[in-house]
Structure formats: structure tokens, C-alpha cells
Amino acid sequence: MVESQTISTDKARSMAVDDLYQALSSGQGGLGQSEAESRIRKFGPNEIVEKEESEILKFFRYFWGPIPWMIEAAVIISAIIRHWEAFAVILALLLINAIVGFWQEHQAGNAIAMLKKRLALEARALRDGKWQKIAARDLVPGDIVRVRNGDIIPADIKLVEGDLLSVDESALTGESMPVEKHTSDIAYSGSAVKQGEMTALVVATGEKTFFGKTARLTEEAMTASHFQKAVIRIGDYLIVLAIVLVTIVFIVSLFRQESVLDTLQFALVLIVAAIPAALPAVLSITMAVGATALAKKEAIVSKLVAIEEMAGVDILCSDKTGTITENKLTLAEVAPFEGFNDDDVLLAAILASREEDQDPIDIAIIGSKEAQDLKDRLKAYTVTKFKPFDAVVKRTEATVHDSDGREFSVAKGAPQVILALAGGGKDLDEAIDRLSETFAKKGYRVLGVARSDTPGTWVYVGVLGLHDPPRADSAATIKTAEEMGLDVKMVTGDHVAIAREVAREVNLKTNIVTAEAFLGKHDDEAAEAVEKADGFAEVFPEHKYRIVSLLQSRGHTVGMTGDGVNDAPALKKANVGIAVAGATDAAKSAAAIVLTKPGLSVIIDAIKESRRIFQRMDHYVIYRITETINVLFFIALAILIFGFFPVTALMIVLLALLNDIPIMTIAWDNVLYSRSPEEWEMRKTLTLATLMGITGVTASFLLLAIARGPLHLDFGVVQSFVFLKLMVAGHLTIFVARTRGPFWSVRPGSALLWSTIGTKAIATLIVVYGIGVTPIGWPLAILVWIYSLIWEFGIMDPVKIYTYRLIDHTGIQFAR
């Protein structure tokens, strides 16, 4: 084969198709697989190579910023005053935070990369003379591709065969109206096909495309959610609180004429212990682990913010077809009109269908038992031209030649669309209405069939009844959804009677309304009508956007499913847009979650998992605030009131270091999902955490009094004694904070349990044997353990339970 050239999109626009074939060493038969592989090596994959930051620079970035600066200052001061033990441990804290943060960012990046791979675009290409579905990244200049309604155009292409494409280029040019494309026009990578189907020649790929890149489904994958922003605000609040208290301690210490460097070192490490240094790592790993868990549930997260939003969804607007029903249409009934019989209707419907498009209606007709009986008769006909279904004309149409050379046309589509095409009197109109109503009450979808023997003149042949039965698990899944506080509203373009019959079969309420219930009405009136409705029928995709908007105006968090290119606006508008299994590329690009398995149960599983993720993050926030109040206020007040440091700077650093390790494992903790939609309630969280923190401060002061009073411990022993209490009790607080009921009500995850036990054991050995601190021996260590266990589980846990009863009047329940 002649060596292919590189052709720019601009140059390809002005070239004739035949000249372009020659320049690209291609033809109508496309490329061979071996030639395509050779071109991939020459031109590279059809993707944009992202400029990745150096791994070394990423690592060193963890040593830059307010938190690392404070730790680094503490390291320098420790060296200056020759506190080498503190120097070594603080330096270890700095390195461990950097290593763990870098590793978790790396792991989160890998998780997102895996999701991108799962969501990668596919293309239909002609390779080795056969149409094949391949990854869009494997396309090369010279490939022949087929694009149709709902596709994201995978590369810059020259249209070579077909009537027209209506292409949405708004994401690329800002032009809101679709652009018509005809043979010899260029269609750009990343634009969405709104209507039509055409064959095209790939002229540019990857970075050579006119707009520089294909559609990126995961472009917002790392966007911070409302929950993440709220948690970060809490972190900022804790930092400010720590700085204020430590400043007061520092000033008082200076008035007491204590060593400036010693006090400064202590102040810095106290801030380090108080601030949530592990916050970024906890957020990233929890979200990444959550996204991976959702992927295992067959729900691919393209925008991580959806994890939070999905936990709060209270209204789910669900497609009927393929979500509540099986999307496996079967031919249920044939009704011919006067002058025709069943075979005439079925024959015309088969000829107006095309198997290679894999359209569910076409497959149901072609694959029916009745169609198999007509195989011999079908051999006498040849389809010479075919117009696929699109959302504008709402019908398919074929031009056919019979064995005698006669030409005729057939069409199938919505019954009223075929009636408008064929015309007819009042009797035919009434007959179609009666049949539609009768079929709809049986749950059948009605399809009209027409034939034209004379150009421009059509005759209505008859109608078909197609049945799409509910999925076996739909009724049980809907019951589960209702128990979870979800209001499931069916949204379908089918007849109201069909929607009501399906709703009845799956135990949904049957107050199904049409778009007339909210169109043309004042917003308040329309919103009330939409909120009260149990579902919507005979709606167009543009109505879905209005439904979502009205529900959101009433304060609801809305999940919306969709699969078509025209569903994209509603999917973007919804709090959580869900592209169902088999959705078009355009719908996937607009959705926050993409399902790879059909059925409503996948969505419910994803909501359960999102609520679990929300609970883990909530538990982390409660623990972090509680522990900061406990450590910060106890140490600051002890210094201000009693005039001595209850723990050393080294102990504070050890406390921060050993605390951060187990809390990161909260991402894998066992939690119960809420039976109600989640929402971030800062007031309740702060109230609970503050009371738990005050309880911890009280426990610390009481133990300090015991150490200085009845036990008469030396100053160094008191510090080690108090340090072990802060260490053991702090970790036990994790187990208290992670449940609403008694601490034993939910078994902790293995990683959380064993990492907590391990770090407490290390802290115990340090103080028992005096590794860098004053030794206290086993009897005092056992006393601290018993005291901490009694106080945390016997006092703080009941305080938590009682506080929840006071502040939470919603009666929230949890389930596994």
C-alpha cells in the first residue's frame, strides 16, 4: 500500500473525497487490521496525551504549604536546641505524611485512570472488510467509520456516504443550535450526533484533530464536592482555633520567662497535632475507594462529586424501558386494517427494519416467530435504501424492490406519525385510538406500519403490539427504594395507559400524568403538580429538563436516568445524572454516573454505597473535631492553669503520627447506610463533636489530678502517663465516633481495628520501656488502659447516644 500522508483537517475540508482516499491510502473498504496497527505506531493513539507532572515534583510538593512549613520549622528548632529525639520523630512525621499523601494521591489517580478506561469511547470501523466495534483510541487516519444518532464523533472525519447528520458542536464552538452536515462536510471530534447516520473517513486523530481532543467523560472527576469543601472548612476552623490557643499559651509562657525556643518548638508541634494533617489523604482515599466500590456495583463514576450528591438523592426519576422493564421487546399482537392481513403488516414492518443497527424494536420484529415463518417470502425483496429512526421524524423508512423489479416503500413508527404520513378519515383515526388504548391497557407499545406503491401516496397497513415485561427484580427493588426514603417517579415517552399498567405491575403508584400537567403553568403551580405526580408519560426529552428543574425548586435532590442524546440537558441539570446501560456516548458524557448493567437495582445499590461513603466521611469529621478539642484544650488549659507542660513536644508529635495511621483506614470501615437521604448538617456535627471533646478534656484533667494527687507521680512519669491516656483514649474515640448506637453495634473494619490496636500497642511499649520518654512500667500502663476503656465506652459512648437523641429528631434508621 502507498505510504499514507498526514492531512490537516483544514486541508481535508477542501479536498474531494476520492482525492482524500488517495492521499490517505484508503478506500471505501477501509483498512486492514495490520495496516491499522502500523498506522497506530506511526501516528500514535487517537487520544490527547496529558502533560503529567513529574512524580518527583509531586512528592516534593508535600513539603510545601502551611502545614509542612510548621512541621519543618519544628524540625529546625529541635535541631537548634539539640532535642535530637524530638528532631528525629518530627522529621519522621514530616516524611511519613509526605509519603502517605503521595501514595494515596497516586492510588486515587490510578482509580480515576481505571474509570476513564471503563468510560472510553468506542467506534464502529470497517476493518478487513467487516464492521467492527473498536476502541476510539485505536482509530487511525484512513479508517472508515459509521456515526449515528447519539454518538460522540471520535475523530475529525470527512462524511462520504449518507443523507445528513445534525451535529451538536456547542461544547466546542459555543453554538447552541445543531449544525447540519452533508456528504463532503467535515465533522469534528468531540461533537455529538443529534440526528441521522452517515459513513465517514477519518482524516485526523488525537492531537491532530481540529479541536485538539476527543470528548473527555471524566474531565470533572477531581472536582471538589460540597462535602469536601465543608470538611476542608472544618480543617481551616481547627487550624485557626489551634493558632489562637497556642498564641495565648506562647504569650503566657513568655511572661513566665520560659525558654523562647523551647516554647516556640512546643507551640509549633501543638499546632501540628491539632491540625488535620491527614485530611487530604483521608478525602482522596475515601473517594477513590468509594468510586472503585461503585464500579464493582456496575456504576462507573465519571465525576467524583456524584458520590456525595447521590447519597442525598430523595427523588429518582427513572426511565421505564430497560430500567424498570427488561428492554427485551417481543411481538405480542398484530392488527391489520381493511384490505390487509397479518402477513402484510408483518412483512412491511420487517422490510422497514434493519438488524445491523441493533435497534430493540427492529430486533423484536425480525426475531419474532411470525417473522421466521415469512423467511421464504422475504427472499423476493431487496432493500435498496434505508432511513434509520431519528427523534425528529419518529419513523424508519425503506425503499424496496421485489423480484419483478417493482419499487415500493414501507415505513414504521409511532401510530400517530404513520397516520399523519398516510392520511385517512375519521374512522381510521378512531380505530387507531381504540387499538392504542386497548393495547396500552395490556401494557403493549403500539407501532404503526404503512406502505407506498406510488411515490407520495401512503396506505396505513396496520399496527403491531410490542410487549416489554417488567424486570423480575423491579418490584422488590422499588420496595427497597421506598424503604430508603426514595420517591421513584417513572418517566417515559410511552402512552399513559402503558405507564400505568407497568406501574401497577411493579407496585408503583399510578398517578401518572402527561406534560400538560406542568407545561404553560406558573412555576409554583407546575412544581406542585410535578412533586405530587407518581410518574410522567408521553414526555419528550426536553420535558425531562423541566421536571428536574421544578423538583429542584422544591428543595429536592434529584437523580435522573437517561440514554439518548436528547437526554443530555436533563442529565446535566440533575443533581446526579445517570446514563443507563446501553446509553449513547452523548448521554454518557453528560452523566455523572454511567451504568454498565441494566435495571433499577444497580442504581439502588449505587445509592446504598454512596450513603456508606458519606457515613465514613461523617465519622472522620466527628472524630477529628473531637480529638482536636480534646488534645488542644487539655494541653492549653493545663499550661495556663497549672503552669506546666502536661506532655512534651516529642509526645505531641508521636501522638499526631500514631493518630494519623489508623484514621486513614476509615475508608475501608464497615458502616451502615442510612434509611433516609443524607445531608451535611454542620450544626449537629459540631454539637456532637464538641460535647464528646469536652468529655475527653474532663477525663484527661481527672486522670492528671489522680497522677499528681493520690499517685504522687514524678513530673516525667506524669507526662508519660498523660501521653498514654491521650493515645489510648484518642484511638478508642474512633470506635465511639463511628456509630450512632452503642460502640459495639457495628463491627469495625479489619484494617481500622488492627491498625488501631497496633498503634496503641506501640504507644504502650514506648511509655512502658521509656523509648525517648520517661518509663512508667506495666502497672501504670494497665491502669491507663482500664481508665480509658471505662471512660470512653462507659461515659463518652452514652454521652454520644444521648446527644444524638437530643439533636436528631428525624428518626434516621440504618441498614446493612
For the annotated catalytic residues, the residue numbers are 319
From the number of C-beta atoms within 10 Å of its C-beta (0-12, 13-18, 19+), residue 721 rates as buried
How do beta strands 122-127 and 144-148 pair? antiparallel
Task: List beta partners, residue 157.
Answer: 187, 202
Phi–psi pair at 722, nearest 5 degrees: -65, -40
Exposed e or buried b per residue across 506-524, where buried means at least 16 C-beta atoms within 10 angstroms of its C-beta:
bebbeebbbbebbeeeeee
**96 CA to centre of own chain:** 31
Measuring CA to CA, how many Å separate 692 from each of 374, 614, 790? 77, 21, 15
Task: List beta partners, residue 193.
Answer: 167
- Tell me how far apart the alpha carbons of residues 766 and 446 are, in angstroms, rounded to a whole number: 78
From the number of C-beta atoms within 10 Å of its C-beta (0-12, 13-18, 19+), residue 462 rates as buried
Task: Return left, alpha or beta for 174; rule: phi > 0 is left, psi -120 to 50 is alpha, else beta.
Answer: left
Ordered DSSP codes for 321-334: TTTTB----EEEEE
DSSP symbol at 642: H
Q: In the numeric block, which cell numbers belong to residue 675?
A: 434509611
Alpha helices in 643-714 (DSSP H): 649-663, 682-708
Nearest to 730 by CA among 752, 760, 758: 760
Measuring CA to CA, how many Å separate 29 from each of 161, 171, 185, 203, 686? 13, 32, 20, 15, 68
Residues contacting 157, CB < 8 A, separation 6+: 145, 147, 186, 187, 200, 201, 202, 203
**Residue at 359: amino acid letter:** D
Nearest to 316 by CA among 448, 489, 472: 489
What sign for the dihedral angle of Cα 677, 681, 684, 688? Answer: positive
Task: Give the count of beta carbons closer than 10 Å to the beta carbon of residue 29.
Answer: 11
What sign for the dihedral angle of Cα 465, 466, 472, 478? Answer: negative
Angle at 559 between CA 468 and CA 585, to 5 degrees: 70
Residues contacting 159, CB < 8 A, separation 6+: 165, 181, 182, 183, 184, 185, 186, 187, 198, 199, 200
Nearest to 392 by CA among 535, 564, 562, 519: 564
744 in helix, strand or coil? helix
Task: Give the count of beta carbons closer than 10 Å to the beta carbon of residue 810.
Answer: 12
Which H helix or E strand runs over 384?
A: strand 381-387
CB 46 within 8 A of CB 205: yes
Task: List beta partners, residue 508.
Answer: none
**637 CA to centre of own chain:** 45
CB 169 within 8 A of CB 179: yes
End-to-end CA distance of the chain: 62
**2 CA to centre of own chain:** 46
